[in-house]
Structure 1
Amino acid sequence: MGFLDVMPKIYKPVAEVNLSAHSDEPYIHANVKAPRMAGFFVKVFAWVLELRIVGAFVVEILKRNNLVHKFVSFAEISEPPLYTPTHVSEDNYEEQQVYNMKPGSPSTERVQEAVDCLPKDAEFAVNSDSNSDFRRWTIMDYSRAYSSRQITPHLVAMRFLAAVKESSEPHINMSFFINYNPEDILRQAKESTLRYENGTPISVLDGVLVAVKDEIDCMPYPTTGGTKWYHKFRISIEDAHIVKQLRSCGAILVGKTNMHEIGAGTSGINPHYGAVRNPYDITKISGGSSSGSAAVVSAGLCPIALGVDGGGSVRIPASLCGVVGLKPTFGRVSHAGILPLNWTVGMAGVLAGTVEDALIAYAAISGDLQLRQPTPSLAPATNLPLLASTNPIANIKLAKYEKWFNDSADEVRTSCEHALDMLHNHYGWETVEVTLPEIEEMRLAHYVTIASECNASLAPHFAKINFADVGWDVRVAHQVYRSFHSREYLNAQKIRNRQMYFHKEIFKHADVIVTPTTGVTAYPLQRDTFKTGELDYINGAALVRFMIAGNFLGLPAITVMVGCDKGGMPISIQFIGRPWSEATLLHLAYGLQAICSKSFKRPMIYYDLLKEETASQ
C-alpha cells in the first residue's frame, strides 16, 4: 500500500463474536490524532487541504493515523452491506403501560391523547416546590395560564421578543437565532389570544412558543443550514411536515435557531451567525449541531424546540444545556421539508425542558407520515407512555457495557453510576453487563457514511459558490468528506450490518442500552474560534462517543439530565431503545427525572416568561 503502511483489520463473522459481559473482545478508545486548530492555523490548514495533490496526500495521512484505513477503508468484512437502517415492527416485544395512538388521527387529537397520558398534576413545572428558586415552565403551565386568563399568548410573545433582544446584547451575545420575525410572531400570538378569549383554543399547544432549527423549513423564513448561501439554491416554499403538525395545533413558531454550519461539528460555533453560548455558563459551548434549539429551551425562551440529529446533533446540545433530547426511530417522523444533508442517518428530534413536554411534542409530529424511505407501512402504530399510571413500569433491564460506559470524564461517570443506583433503589430496574464490540469501528464507519452523504448532497452547490462564504472549519471538513471512495462507503455499510446484528442480540436480553450522553461536559469557548470556527476532534470524539448507534442503526434514544459537575455544567444519561420503543424510553426518562429534578439548578441565563423575570447572571 506504499506510504499508507497499514495492516487492515480482518473482521471475524458476527456469529463468532462474544457479547457476554466476560468477553475478551477488545475495547478501543477513540484514536484521534489531530491537533486543535482555530484562527490563523485553521486557515492555513484549509489552504493546504485545498491544494489538489498535497491536500489529498495530507487527508490520506489523517485517515491512516486515525485508523480509518485500518478499520474501514481496506478492512476485510464478510457481511453484506446494509444501506439504510430500516426496521420492521418488533412483534415479539410489548411495551408496558402504553396507549396505542389512533392511526391517521389529526395532530390535535394526538396531542390530547398525550395529555391524557400525563399525571393530573402535570400542570406543575419541574422544580416547583417552595424550596427551589428554579421553575421551568411546561406546556401545561402555559396552557393553564392562558385558559385562566392569568396571561395571554400576546403578552408572552412580547416578553419573548424583549428577552431575545436582551440576549443579543454585547455583554451576553447568546446568538440563539439566525432569523426571527417580530411581526409574524406577534400576528400568531394575537390570533392565539383571540382564540382563548373566545374559549376556542385549538389544543394545549395553542400559544406555546416553539423554535425550529434552521435545517427545517418554517415559513416565512429561508432555510440556511447555518450557511450564508444554501437558501440561494434551495428555496423554501412551505413548512416542513413536522412544522405543519405543530402549527395546526396552534403553536407559535418563533423563528429559526442557530446551528453549526451544515451540521458539520459538535460545538455550535458558527462564524457567520455567532457561537451559541451555553445558558448554564456563557463562556462554554452549547454543543451542536442543534445548538440554538437546545439553548433557547434551556434559557426558558421556549418549552420545546425542533432539531435534527445526524450524529448526536439533538442529544449532544440537549445534554450540555441540561434539557431533554429525544431522537425517534428512523422512519417514525417525516423528513419532508428538512435539508437532505445525510438521509440514512439524520432524523428530526425534539428538545424539551421536561419529559412531559417531549411526549406532547413527539405525539404532535409522529403521525401522518409523508416519507420516501422507509415506507410508512414499515412503522407500527405509535405508542404513548401512560405516565399517569400509579405504578412505574417493572422488570426493566438496562444493558451496560462497562468499558464503554467508563470511557468518560470522572464526574460524568460517577454521576451516571449514581443515577443507575437510584433507578435500582426506587424502581428495582436491573443493570445487565454486556459487551458491545467494535464501538470505535462503528464511530469511524458512521463518519464515513455521514461524510459521504453530506458530500453527495452538497457537491453540486459547492461547485457554484464562493468559498469565501464558507466557514474555515467547514472547508476543512469538505476536503475530508470528498475523499471517501466507494469501497470505504461499502465497508462502512458492512459495519452497519454487523452493528445491527450486535444490537439486536443485546436487545434479546435487555430493554434498553444505557450510557452517559456525552463523555465530557461543556468545555470553554475560546476567542480564536469566533471568526474561523474550530477544529477540535479530540473533544468532538468525546461528545459523540455514545451517539452513533442512534443514527447509524436508526434506533430511538433519549437523554435526560441527572446532575452537574463541580463547575455547575449539566451531566446527562442516555437510554438507547429497541426500534419503535419511544414510549419505553419516555417512561424511563420520566422515572429518572422524578428522582433527579429537585437537584437541578437554574441556568446562568434564564428568562421566566410567565413572571417576566430577566436573565440572571
Structure 2
Amino acid sequence: MPIQSCTFIAQSCWLVLVSCFFCSSSASSYPFLLFINRTFSISKLIRRMVMSKRVVYKPADQVDVSFTSDEVYVEANVKAPRMAGFLVKLFVWFLELRILKPFLLYILKRENQIHKLVSFVEIEEAPLYVPLHPYEEHKEPETKHLESDLSPSEQVQQATECINSLESVRENENISFRHWTILDYSRAYLSRETNPKKVADQFIASISKSCNSAIRMSFFISCDVEDILRQANESTLRYERGEPLSALDGVPIAVKDEIDCMPYPTTGGTKWLHKVRSCTDDADCVKRLRLCGAILVGKTNMHELGAGTSGINPHYGSTRNPYDVNKITGGSSSGSAAVVSAGLCPAALGVDGGGSVRIPAALCGVVGFKPTFGRVSHAGVLPLNWTVGMVGVLAGTVEDALIVYSAISAQLPSDQRVTQMHPRVSLPLLNLPSSMPKVKLAKYDKWFSDCTYDIKLCCSNALNQLQKIYGWETMEVTIPEIEAMRLAHYLTIGSECTSALACHLEKLNMNEVGWDARVALSIYGAFDGKEYLNAQRIRNRQFQIHQKIFDQADVIVTPTTGVTAYTIQDDALKTGELDYINAAALVRYMIAGNFLGLPAVTVPVGYDKGGLPIGLQFIGKPWSEASLIYIAYAVQALCAAEYRKPRVFYDHLSDLKRDKTA
C-alpha cells in the first residue's frame, strides 16, 4: 500500500478515535469544539500556503501540443485506501458527522490535488458551461447523409444499406467466434427459421437461468415477462404479414435503468429515486427504437446513481463479467455491457457521463459508442449530469452500433438541453478494408503508456497493425493538463448530480442509499461555486487545446482503460466499495469524451494474460461519428479472427436453428 494511503488511514482513524472520545459525553464537548476550532485555524493557514503556491495556467493559445513540448505528464495522484464492508460503514459514519465532515472533506480535496489543480488556480479563460460544438467541415470517409425528415425506421434502412455489402464477406470470415448481429436476427425472421416469439421465450428462459445459477449474474433490475411476450407476439404477426417495421423489428434491445422505458420505473440503480420521480413516458431514444419494432426487454443493472466505475450495486446485485464471473463488468452501464457480451441482446442503451458506456464495453469485450454531445436526445434520461452525460450504444459488433445509432440519432423538440442546429446525421459506407482512406492518429505516448503492461502491449500491437495493413499514420503529440481535466470533470459531474438531487436528498432516509453512494454524495456536496467556475474555465482551455490537436490529426487514440476487469471481493457485495485507485485507472482515458462532449468509440483488440478483454479507444472531432464508426470497423476487421467466446454466453439463434432442423 502506498505511503500516502497509510497516512490517510492513520489520519482518518485518529480523527475517528478523537471524535468518539470527545463525543462520548456532553462534558467533553467544549474541549472538543476548541480542538476543532484550532484545527480549522491550521486549515486556514494551510489554505493560505496553498494559495501562495497555486498553479498559474498560461493562456491556452500559448500551450504547446507538439511532441517536443516541455509540458509534464501528471499521473493521477489518488490518495485513498480501498474500503468496503465495516470500514466503509465506519468511514460514512465519520464523514456524516456534521462537526468533522468539513475538515475531512478538506483533507480529501487537498490530498487528491483538487485544491492544487482546480480550487486555487489562476486561470485566464472564461467559463464554458455546456460543450456545444459548431459544425466545421472535415475529412470524412464515403458517407450517406440522412435527410432530416426521415423516420427512425427509414434511418435504420439507410444504415442496413451501408453494411449489406459486407454480409457475403462476413459469412466467409475465418473466425472462431462472433456475436449474432441485428441482421442475423432479421434474416432468421424473414426466412422463417425462427420468429420473435421463440427468441423471446429463449431470452426469458436464459434470464431465469442466470438468476438461479450458483452465482447470480444480476443483469437486470426490472424485466417484465408479459410485456416482453406482448411485444414479441406483435412483432411475430408483422413478420407473418410480411410487414416488419425495420431490421430492428423483433430484435431484443436492453435499456439502462437511467433511461425512461415503459412500463418500468426508472431507479437509477437506487431503492428510492423511482418513488419521487415517476416514469410516465418513454425517453426519446426509446420511442425511436419502438418505432423500429425493437423488443425492449427490460432495465439493466447499473452502479447506484452512476456514481462509480465498478458496477457493484448493493441493492440489485453485482453484475458479473461474462468472461469471468468473479470479475467486475465496469460501470456505470454494467448490465447493458454484460447482456450484450453474454449474447442476450445484440445491442443495449447506456448513458455515458464519465466513461459509463466505454468502460464496461471494454471490460466485457464489446463495442461502446458515445456520440457528440447533443447528437442523441437526452429527454427522458435521469437528469443526473446535464452537461457531461450522453446516451450511448453498447453492441456486439460495430455494424450493430451503427444500426442502433441510426435509429436513435437526431434531435426531437422535447430535448431542452440543446438549442442550436446540428449537422445532418451521416452514416459511413463500410467498404472493404482495401479502400480504407488514410487516417492520422494522435498519440500522447506518456499517457498512452500509463496502463498495465498487457494493455500497453495489446494496444500498441493493434496500432502497428493499423499502420502496416492500412498505412495509417501515428503522430506523437502532447496533451497537457490531463489530470487537471479529470479533476475538473469530477467536480462538474459531482456538482451537477448534487444539484439535480438536492430537493430529494433533504427528505431522504439515508438508510436507503448504498454506503459507497453516500460517500460520493458527501464529496459531491463539498464543491463550492468558485471551484465549479474554475472547472468550467479548465473546460474552455481543454476545448482550445484539443482543437489544436485536431488541426493536426483525425482522431486521438488511447487504450480504453488503464486496467482490465478486477476481482469482485466479498466484502463489497452488501456495501459497495471505495476503490478510487482502480477507479482512476478505469476513467484515465475517458474524460475528454464527456467533459468536452466529443464522440468516442471503443473496440475490442485482444485479451490480457488472464483472458480478460482489452479495448482500444478513438476520440473524434465534433460531429465525426461517421469517421469513428468507419475506423472502428477497420479495427474490428483486423482483430475479429482472435475474438473469444465469453464463458457465459447464451447462443439463442444457434439453439433455435438446431431445434428447427432436429
Give the alignment partner of residue 524 of structure 1, picking from 563, 567, 585: 567
Aligned residue for 2:615, secondary structure, equals strand
Task: After TM superposition, give the deviation of residue 119 of structure 1 in Å.
Answer: 3.9
What corresponds to 1:536 in structure 2?
Answer: 579
Distance in 2 of aligned mates of 1:56 and 1:383: 50
What corresponds to 1:21 in structure 2?
Answer: 67
Distance in 1 of aligned mates of 2:190 and 2:420: 37
| Aligned positions, number | 610
Task: After TM superposition, give the deviation of residue 369 of structure 1 in Å.
Answer: 2.7
With normalisation by structure 1, the TM-score equals 0.97
Residue identity opposite 1:103 in structure 2: S
Residue 114 of structure 1 pairs with residue 159 of structure 2: yes
Q: Write the deviation string for residues 8-38 of structure 1: whole angstroms up to 9, x where unpaired.
A: 2111111221110011100000000000000
Task: After TM superposition, give the deviation of residue 135 of structure 1 in Å.
Answer: 3.5
Residue 328 of structure 1 pairs with residue 371 of structure 2: yes
Distance in 2 of aligned mates of 1:508 and 1:131: 38
The alignment yields a C-alpha RMSD, in angstroms, of 1.4
- Contact 2:175-2:643 at 8 Å conserved across structures: no
Distance in 1 of aligned mates of 2:566 and 2:276: 35
Distance in 1 of aligned mates of 2:438 and 2:195: 44
- Contact 2:175-2:640 at 8 Å conserved across structures: no
What corresponds to 1:187 in structure 2?
Answer: 230
What corresponds to 1:76 in structure 2?
Answer: 122
Distance in 2 of aligned mates of 1:103 and 1:229: 39
Matches within 5 A, 1:319-358: 319-358=362-401
Residue 491 of structure 1 pairs with residue 534 of structure 2: yes
- Contact 1:286-1:320 at 8 Å conserved across structures: yes
What corresponds to 1:419 in structure 2?
Answer: 462
What corresponds to 2:419 in structure 1?
Answer: 375
What corresponds to 1:407 in structure 2?
Answer: 450
Distance in 1 of aligned mates of 2:650 and 2:168: 19
- Closer, same or farther: CA 161–22 of 1 in aligned 2, 3 Å: same
Residue 437 of structure 1 pairs with residue 480 of structure 2: yes
- Contact 1:97-1:393 at 8 Å conserved across structures: no
Distance in 2 of aligned mates of 1:135 and 1:455: 41
What corresponds to 2:13 in structure 1?
Answer: none
Task: After TM superposition, give the deviation of residue 125 of structure 1 in Å.
Answer: 6.2
Distance in 1 of aligned mates of 2:71 and 2:440: 22
Task: After TM superposition, give the deviation of residue 465 of structure 1 in Å.
Answer: 1.4
Residue 60 of structure 1 pairs with residue 94 of structure 2: no
Matches within 5 A, 1:161-560: 161-370=204-413, 371-377=415-421, 379-388=422-431, 391-560=434-603
Q: Write the deviation string for residues 350-389 of structure 1: whole angstroms up to 9, x where unpaired.
A: 0000000000000000024332122251x11111000036
Residue identity opposite 2:181 in structure 1: T
What corresponds to 1:152 in structure 2?
Answer: 195
Distance in 2 of aligned mates of 1:463 and 1:237: 24
Residue identity opposite 2:572 in structure 1: T
Distance in 2 of aligned mates of 1:143 and 1:409: 40
- Contact 1:384-1:583 at 8 Å conserved across structures: yes
Give the alignment partner of residue 86 of structure 1, picking from 100, 113, 132: 132
Task: After TM superposition, give the deviation of residue 490 of structure 1 in Å.
Answer: 0.2
Q: Write the deviation string for residues 242-286 of structure 1: whole angstroms up to 9, x where unpaired.
A: 000001000000000000000000000000000001000000000
Q: For the pair shown, which has the larger CA radius of gyration, 1 or 2? A: 2
Residue identity opposite 1:505 in structure 2: K
Residue 96 of structure 1 pairs with residue 141 of structure 2: yes
Distance in 2 of aligned mates of 1:211 and 1:295: 11
Aligned residue for 1:318, secondary structure, equals helix
Q: Write the deviation string for residues 374-412 of structure 1: whole angstroms up to 9, x where unpaired.
A: 2251x1111100003674332210000001001111110
What corresponds to 1:573 in structure 2?
Answer: 616
- Closer, same or farther: CA 316–390 of 1 in aligned 2, 3 Å: closer
Aligned residue for 1:283, secondary structure, equals coil
Q: Write the deviation string for residues 313-356 of structure 1: whole angstroms up to 9, x where unpaired.
A: 00000000000000000010000000000000000000000000
Distance in 1 of aligned mates of 2:447 and 2:123: 23
Residue identity opposite 1:102 in structure 2: E
- Contact 1:246-1:364 at 8 Å conserved across structures: yes
Distance in 1 of aligned mates of 2:170 and 2:288: 25
With normalisation by structure 2, the TM-score equals 0.91
Aligned residue for 1:445, secondary structure, equals helix
Distance in 1 of aligned mates of 2:146 and 2:432: 17
- Contact 1:63-1:69 at 8 Å conserved across structures: yes
Distance in 1 of aligned mates of 2:578 and 2:145: 46
- Contact 2:336-2:394 at 8 Å conserved across structures: yes
Provide the identity percentage. Answer: 62
- Contact 1:123-1:144 at 8 Å conserved across structures: no
- Closer, same or farther: CA 70–368 of 1 in aligned 2, 3 Å: closer
Task: After TM superposition, give the deviation of residue 96 of structure 1 in Å.
Answer: 1.9
Aligned residue for 1:611, secondary structure, equals helix
Residue identity opposite 2:483 in structure 1: E
- Contact 1:263-1:289 at 8 Å conserved across structures: yes
Larger helix proportion of the pair: 2
Q: Which moved more, 1:97-106 or 1:437-446?
A: 97-106
Aligned residue for 2:609, secondary structure, equals coil
Residue identity opposite 2:356 in structure 1: S
- Closer, same or farther: CA 178–261 of 1 in aligned 2, 3 Å: same
